[in-house]
Amino acid sequence: MSVMTNPAAAKVRRPSLWKNIRKHQASYLMIAPYFILFFFFTVLPVLMSVVVSFTDWNMLQTPNFVGWTNYVKLLVDDDIFITSLKNTLIFAVVTGPVSYMLCLLFAWIINEFNRGLRTVLTLIFYAPSICGNAYMVWNLILTGDRYGYLNGILLNLDIINEPILWMQTEQYILPVLIVVQLWLSLGTGFLSFIAGLQTVDKSMYEAAAIDGIKNRWQELWFVTLPAMKPQLLFGAVMQITQSFAVADISIALAGNPSVNYAGATIVTHLLDYGSTRLDMGYASAIATILFLLMVGTNKLVQKVLGRVGE
Amino acid sequence: MSQIKGQVAIKDLPPHLQKKLRRQKIVPSLKAKKLNRSVAGNTLLFTIMGICAVFMVLPLVMIVNNALKPLDELYQFPPKIFVRNPTLENFSDLFVLMNDSWVPFSRYIMNTILITGLGMVGHVVIASLAAYPLAKHDFPGKPFLFSMVVLSMMFSWTVTQIPQYAIISWMGINNTYWALILPAFCFGMGLYLMKQFMEQLPDSLMESARIQGANEWQIFWKIVMPNVKPAWLTLAIFQFQQMWGNTGSLFLRDEQLKPMQFALQQITAGGVSRAGAAAAVTFIIAAVPITFFLICQSSILETMTTSGMKD
């Protein structure tokens, strides 16, 4: 809403705003069920968490207001947080864009097939996301003795002389987690791209061919991607929330805490304080910092995606 | 395509006539070859995909094979992926264990159907209903409400869980189905997904319905929803998975209210001797959402090619 400096204009504006709201009664009625629930189950809890981040609440005693203490401690004194922040950023910078491209690439290729084959292929690529904790398969592959599949293959090929303890060696933890995360990445964004490709008007391709589009790559850039911009934006937000919030696979494969915190991420750090030490004030402060990080990244990514097809 | 007077568009003909014309090659077939495709490009892309597919399908292969393995193969060291002597023993063991459960097992199944079904259908309807005005109407407060939903997805769920628990207790719906279902109605992702798809619909579509006297409610059900079918089918898959995976252990205390997931996990918690039943459980827990996935995915068809859709 624009700020009115002219008091006379403001007087004129006020009844018209009310009229405007009355005029859109139907719209408000339609959004009401969702937003009433959303207020109670999402907005209120988030606001309460932000308030908690300024206290020393441990879920047992009455919380005391401590001002910025949690934030100062987090950013100045907590070396592990700095490590986990660094890991999370590396993680997000690598897996975020790569996952996003993979989702788009595979959705696009799969779209070439007829309906039956498309359904089966979609299932195959979505399988890691639908099979619950499918990443446990990787425990088998990454077992640290000679019987782990990866060690077995590398030993047979004489690339290594003795088995490697993949998830206990500091230098391997983060790269391996990145590979597993990429493997898991064909999830929400992927399916929404599949659906988005179905809504692209077929006659646009015919028109483009007449207009001189020569190959599939040009078709992708000039026709398909601009036509599914809303899905691209949606996929980007989902990608950000996933890349920054990674924790489950780190805990399942590397443990929490991992060796010398090599697999620590912001959310594993948060879980450490929230679920293990019950320091809810501190955990909430971590969540708030993470939130700000994601919001900033989102702003940047939306700007980049605005250029698609230009 | 512009319609010339006196000429009928193919898509306006009854379906059986369309089929006949296509079969006789008077009209190009729907499965006509895609434009602008080179053999080299096809080979390259399909090879990349084939290699990746082998890795992606691994968990599916393992779940199926484990479910069919007799106990000695499950504990074989080093572990093998493929089963050598397949058996259905694990499933019969599981059924015996199910019959022993404290509450009749059918009760758990009913609970799951209720929680998953209501949570999914309710969410798709409520989120879509809210997404339509956000995508297509212009009312005061709209940008604020929408960005609130998008931003909410970026706040860590781990820390909001406790305030949410407090609110659910305060509402007095703790230890009822509603404690699981009501929060599921307002997940942020569904609204965002539906809004993005609805945004693509041409305004002229709704405008012409308005001129013919349809109210917003009718437009939503008769025009908007059928045209974003790929979106709500996709959302249904996500929400089904979400609700199906919910054990409800945080909110549900009465055994009679608990979903099947919880009961199955209890069965598999029995240690070494239950490993076979546990493998069967893993199979069932994955098989149901996969079946649902296949049904939804195969009905996601091109919807925007219907007539009267262009600006």
Residues A261-299: pLDDT tens digits? 888 899 999 988 888 888 889 999 999 999 999 999 999
The residues spanned by each domain of chain A are 1-52, 58-305
Among A175-189, A193-207, B297-311, which range has the highest average pLDDT? A175-189
Averaged pLDDT for residues B61-82: 83
With CA atoms as reference, the chain A residue closest to B45 would be A109
Q: Is A68 on the interface with B (CB under 8 A)?
A: no
Mean of per-residue pLDDT scores for chain B: 83
Which is higher by pLDDT, A40 or B246? A40
As a whole-number percent, the residues of chain B with pLDDT over 70 amount to 85
Which of B59, B161, B183 lies nearest to residue A128, judging by beta carbons? B59
Q: What is the pLDDT of residue B282?
A: 86
* Predicted model pTM: 0.86
Shortest Cα distance, chain B CAs vs residue A42, angstroms: 7
Distance CA B38, CA B165 (A): 57
* Band of pLDDT at residue B25, cut at 50, 70 and 90: low
Q: What is the pLDDT of residue B307?
A: 39
Interface test with A, best of B65, B154, B246 (most A CBs within 10 A): B154
Q: Is A277 on the interface with B (CB under 8 A)?
A: no
Averaged pLDDT for residues A1-23: 61
Q: CATH 1.10.3720.10 residue ranges in chain B?
A: 99-299
Encode pLDDT of B77-119 as tens digits. 777 778 888 888 889 888 888 888 778 888 988 999 999 999 9
CATH of the structural domain B99-299, one choice from 2.160.10.10, 3.30.950.10, 1.10.3720.10, 3.40.50.720: 1.10.3720.10
Instruction: Answer yes or no: do B156 and A196 touch at CB < 8 A.
Output: no
User: In this model, does residue B277 exceed pLDDT 90?
Assistant: no
Q: Is the dihedral of CA A48, A53, A59, A65 positive or negative?
A: negative
Which of A1, A27, A230 lies nearest to residue B200, judging by beta carbons? A230
The stretches of chain B forming alpha helices (DSSP H) are 15-23, 39-56, 58-68, 71-74, 89-99, 105-136, 142-152, 157-171, 178-185, 188-199, 203-211, 216-219, 225-227, 229-244, 260-268, 275-299
Encode pLDDT of A93-137 as tens digits. 999 999 999 999 999 988 888 888 888 899 999 988 888 777 777
Least confident of A7-21, A61-75, B258-272, B284-298: A7-21
How far from the centroid of its chain's Cα atoms is residue A19's Cα?
40
Q: What is the pLDDT of residue B47?
A: 87
User: In this model, does residue B230 exceed pLDDT 60?
Assistant: yes
Averaged pLDDT for residues A208-217: 80
DSSP state at residue B2: P
Axis crossing angle, helix B275-299 with helix B229-244, rounded to the nearest 10: 170
> Architecture of A58-305 per CATH?
Orthogonal Bundle (1.10)
User: In this model, does residue B220 exceed pLDDT 90?
Assistant: yes
Question: How far lies A248's CA from each of A70, A142, A253, B135, in Å?
Answer: 25, 17, 9, 34
As a whole-number percent, the residues of chain B with pLDDT over 90 amount to 35
Which of A1, A198, A230 lies nearest to residue B302, judging by beta carbons? A198
Q: What is the pLDDT of residue B156?
A: 83
Q: What is the pLDDT of residue B14?
A: 65
Which is higher by pLDDT, A190 or B268? A190
Long-range contacts of range B35-42, CB-CB < 8 Å, 24 or more positions apart?
Answer: B35/A205, B35/A206, B35/A209, B35/A219, B36/A205, B36/A209, B36/A213, B36/A214, B36/A215, B36/A216, B36/A218, B36/A219, B37/A112, B37/A216, B38/A215, B38/A216, B41/A215, B41/A216, B42/A112
Which of A198, A206, A234 lies nearest to residue B301, judging by beta carbons? A198
Among A36-40, A202-206, B139-143, B265-269, which range has the highest average pLDDT? A36-40
Asked if residue A121 lies in contact with residue A110, where contact means CB atoms within 8 angstroms, the answer is yes
Distance CA B48, CA A108 (A): 13
| CA-closest candidate to residue B233, choices B309, B292, B304 | B292
Q: What is the pLDDT of residue A173?
A: 87
* Band of pLDDT at residue A235, cut at 50, 70 and 90: very high
User: In this model, does residue B10 exceed pLDDT 70?
Assistant: no
Among A24-28, B50-54, B194-198, which range has the highest average pLDDT? B194-198
| CA-closest candidate to residue B149, choices A241, A17, A274 | A241
User: In this model, does residue B303 exceed pLDDT 70?
Assistant: no
Averaged pLDDT for residues B128-145: 93
Spell out which residues of chain A touch residue B80, defining contact as CB-CB under 8 Å: none
Q: Is A58 on the interface with B (CB under 8 A)?
A: no
Q: What is the pLDDT of residue A238?
A: 92
Spell out which residues of chain A touch residue B238, defining contact as CB-CB under 8 Å: 188, 191
Largest distance between two CA atoms of chain B: 76
* Band of pLDDT at residue B19, cut at 50, 70 and 90: low
Amino acid letter, residue B102: W
Q: Is B270 on the interface with A (CB under 8 A)?
A: no
Shortest Cα distance, chain B CAs vs residue A254, angstroms: 19
User: In this model, does residue B308 exceed pLDDT 60?
Assistant: no
List B residues 176-215 in contact with A (Cβ-Cβ < 8 A).
182-183, 185-186, 188-189, 191-193, 196-197, 199-200, 215
List B residues 10-39 in contact with A (Cβ-Cβ < 8 A).
31, 34-38
Which is higher by pLDDT, A135 or B298? B298
Q: Is A300 on the interface with B (CB under 8 A)?
A: no
User: In this model, does residue B149 exceed pLDDT 90?
Assistant: yes
What are the counts of helices (DSSP H) followed by strands (DSSP E) for chain A? Answer: 17, 0
Interface test with A, best of B160, B244, B251, B290 (most A CBs within 10 A): B160
Instruction: Answer yes or no: do B234 and A195 touch at CB < 8 A.
Output: yes
Asked if residue A102 lies in contact with residue A239, where contact means CB atoms within 8 angstroms, the answer is no
As a whole-number percent, the residues of chain A with pLDDT over 70 amount to 95
Distance CA A173, CA A194 (A): 32
Instruction: Answer yes or no: do A290 and B137 touch at CB < 8 A.
Output: no
Least confident of A118-132, B116-130, B175-189, B258-272: B258-272
Q: Is A101 on the interface with B (CB under 8 A)?
A: no
Mean of per-residue pLDDT scores for chain A: 85
List B residues 42-71 in contact with A (Cβ-Cβ < 8 A).
42, 45-46, 48-49, 52-53, 55-60, 62-63
Distance CA A131, CA B287 (A): 9
Tokens coding A226: 């601009």
Instruction: Answer yes or no: do B309 and A201 touch at CB < 8 A.
Output: yes
Spell out which residues of chain A touch residue B162, defining contact as CB-CB under 8 Å: 59, 280
User: In this model, does residue A39 exceed pLDDT 90?
Assistant: yes
Distance CA B309, CA B204 (A): 8
